Amino acid sequence: MIHKRFIIIGTIFLICLSVLLGRLSQIQLFETKSFTDRNINLIEESVKQRSQEMVIDNGRGKFYDRNMVPLTYEAVPSLILFPFLKKMEWDVEKVASIIGVRENEILQALEAAEEPIVFGKPEPIVLTETQMKAINQLKIPGVFAVKKQYDRKIPPAAQLIGLVGQNEKQISLRYPEKNIPKNTNIGISGLQKSFDEFLLQEENTKLIYHVDGHGGPLFGIDVKYTDPSNPFYPVNVQTTIDGEIQKKAEEIAERHKLKKGGLILVDIDTNSIIASVSRPEMNESNPYGNDGAKNYMLTAQIPGSVFKTVIAAAAIDAQLVPQNRTFDCSRTIHGEIDQQFQHGMIDFTKSFAVSCNNTFATLAKELNEIDKNMIETYAKKLGLTEEVGWQGDVYHFDDFKQLADEEKGQIFLSDAERKDSKLVAQTGIGQQNVRITPLQAANMMATIARGGEKKMVRAVSSIRYKNGTTLYQFPEKKLKGDTLAPYTISKLQQLLREVVVDEEGTGRYLKNLPYEVAGKSGTAQTYRYNENGQEYVNKWFVGYFPFDQPKYALAVVYLDALSTDGSVTPIFQDMVTYLSHLNGQ
């Protein structure tokens, strides 16, 4: 009986010991970097418990502008001090004299420090290259001059670049076969999301000092600089944004108090985004609040009269607008006397310049009688019904999209709309269910300026390894599908210029700029009202310049504006003036 009890007790003991050994093996050998379903890195956590460290670089790939100037971070030459300095004698006087402060300021900062600090409050003191070299030549343990990287919470072109954050569910969905710690930052929106797999966080670059349980030195006063050994990853992304132009565009939007909407500037030659501003502005403390994280340059909006460009192209090809044809522009699209505009009987060119609704509603109905799909066909020829951002196969990424958040445009939602002449008339003036993005509008202007050649719009030109060599170069790519005939494009160019040079043209206030402008205005009804019964409208101006040698296409839009909020033309004007001066005009 006693022997049997010993066997039972011994068996239980062996089982418990086996479980304990198995648990220890799991912790020490098998799951050291991904312990439990939370993927805890036990090695990192144990190091944290017995070390003090200053992270210099968080290890995620970075974004740069087209001149390789950082967009998402700032490298600040800083003085790093470790807390063990307050327990030892060191040449604080020499360090203080190099950076031009009193000894006592450094000692006071150290007195309150329990972890490594960046010297200077509230902002770190920015060192010169000479000061950094002088400090590091002293070789004082615990005193370092390094370029510490600070992530910009709100970078330039914030909505285009996008946000990063921690999301365990998204990590599991995106990377089910990868062993990625659940606290890893991933791209949530914008280019951060599109390029996330390239940018995934590697090991930190840091200064590290090992301590015992009381915070004392474990291996003397040796501070180590640790840098990931991989010279290639994480990669860096070179965008097509021009940092200086982007900064100016944001200043202009701010000066004109643009509340909702924005502007997008495209280089016509390469069809690349040079600047992109979306409002409301992203808030640092709550980036998702008030739609601040939303990129309105990629969301489809009611375009109003901007869409008349499509109707004009179709009408020219269908030979509906001979020189001697006139339209009654003192009447609305439904035939009543227009209480706002009394242009009388005018021809097609004048109609486009003054943006006569009756002309384009009439032409839309005539086009629809010829072919129920004609309006959509011509919208597609100008890139308004498809995604226009760069996409294609990139290594193992099938159909990779640079602009993952981009929306498509739309014209009709049903056959019933195509059969209703009143709805077709509304469609012809860019109302009803017509929706396009500001990016598509700018791209349409670039297409016309280039002579009809359709291209994808790039926001990124290349992906670069950490050592600076190129991983992938994004080539210029054509958009598939039919294009407009050269004659039609030529007529559109003339029409767009008339909008500015005609004495009654809706863009006449842009006439005397350093660059000659061609473009189209639009004021779209939203059929939504404020508490005072005032209707919200979308105000647009899209165009290109200089007219004879096109270089830039620009779309500016003020969404959900009131009539008292003023025009977007001054914003367009300021951008044109700035760019002309930038180029020495």
Q: Are 119 and 125 in contact (CB under 8 A)?
A: yes
State which residues form the domain around 272.
243-520+534-582
**Encoded tokens for 171:** 């990590």
**How many domains does the chain divide into?**
1
What local confidence, expressed as pLDDT, does residue 449 receive? 98
In a domain, 278, yes or no: yes
Whether residue 546 is preceded by a cis peptide bond, meaning omega within 30 degrees of 0, is yes
580 is catalytic: no
What local confidence, expressed as pLDDT, does residue 16 receive? 62
The sheet with strand 236-239 has its strands ordered as 63-64, 236-239, 460-464, 470-473
DSSP assignment string, 419-439:
H-HHHHHHHHTT-TT-BB-HH
Q: Do the strands 205-210 and 345-347 form a parallel or antiparallel pair, or are they unpaired? A: unpaired
In a domain, 229, yes or no: no
Q: Are 205 and 227 in contact (CB under 8 A)?
A: yes
Q: What is the CATH number of the domain that holds 326?
A: 3.40.710.10
Per-residue HEC secondary structure of 444-502 comes to HHHHHHCCCCCECEECEEEEECCCCCEEEECCCCECCCCCCCHHHHHHHHHHHHHHHHC
Query: How far apart (Å, rounded) are the C-alpha atoms in residues 523 and 151?
Result: 39
Query: How far apart (Å, rounded) are the C-alpha atoms in residues 275 and 36?
Result: 45
What local confidence, expressed as pLDDT, does residue 21 receive? 62
Number of Cβ atoms within 10 Å of the Cβ of 143: 22
Residues sharing a CB contact under 8 Å with residue 427, sequence separation 6 or more, in sequence order: 307, 364, 375, 411, 412, 417, 433, 434
Radius of gyration of the chain (CA): 31
pLDDT tens-place string over residues 116-130: 889 987 888 999 999
In a domain, 200, yes or no: no
In a domain, 483, yes or no: yes
Cα diameter, the chain: 119
In 68-146, alpha helices (H): 92-99, 103-111, 129-138
* Average pLDDT for runs of 10 along the chain of length 585: 64 66 55 51 46 79 95 92 86 94 92 88 89 94 89 92 89 84 87 92 73 51 62 87 98 96 98 97 81 94 98 98 95 86 93 97 97 97 97 88 96 94 96 97 98 97 91 95 97 98 97 97 94 94 98 98 92 98 88
Report the residue count for the chain: 585
Ramachandran category for residue 162: left, alpha or beta (phi over 0 → left; psi -120 to 50 → alpha): left
Catalytic entry in 194, 305, 351, 521: 305
In a domain, 212, yes or no: no
Query: How far apart (Å, rounded) are the C-alpha atoms in residues 526 and 524?
Result: 6
Three-state secondary-structure class, residue 177: coil
In a domain, 217, yes or no: no
Query: How far apart (Å, rounded) are the C-alpha atoms in residues 238 and 74?
Result: 16
Query: How far apart (Å, rounded) are the C-alpha atoms in residues 269 and 489?
Result: 17
Query: How far apart (Å, rounded) are the C-alpha atoms in residues 582 and 585?
Result: 7
Query: How far apart (Å, rounded) are the C-alpha atoms in residues 536 and 524?
Result: 9
Q: Do the strands 63-64 and 236-239 form a parallel or antiparallel pair, or are they unpaired? A: parallel
In a domain, 8, yes or no: no
Handedness of CA 10, 16, 19, 24 (dihedral sign): negative
What does pTM read for this prediction?
A: 0.87
Handedness of CA 333, 335, 340, 344 (dihedral sign): positive
**Encoded tokens for 499:** 């909008």
Give the H/E segment covering residue 539: strand 535-545
Give the H/E segment covering residue 147: strand 143-151
Q: Among residues 245, 313, 272, which one has the least CA distance to residue 443?
A: 272
What local confidence, expressed as pLDDT, does residue 229 receive? 61
523 CB burial (10 A radius; 0-12, 13-18, 19+): buried
What local confidence, expressed as pLDDT, does residue 457 receive? 98
Q: Among residues 444, 441, 577, which one has the least CA distance to residue 510?
A: 577
Query: How far apart (Å, rounded) are the C-alpha atoms in residues 22 and 30?
Result: 10
pLDDT tens-place string over residues 160-169: 999 998 888 8
In a domain, 485, yes or no: yes
Residue type, 402: Q
Q: Do the strands 224-226 and 205-210 form a parallel or antiparallel pair, or are they unpaired? A: antiparallel
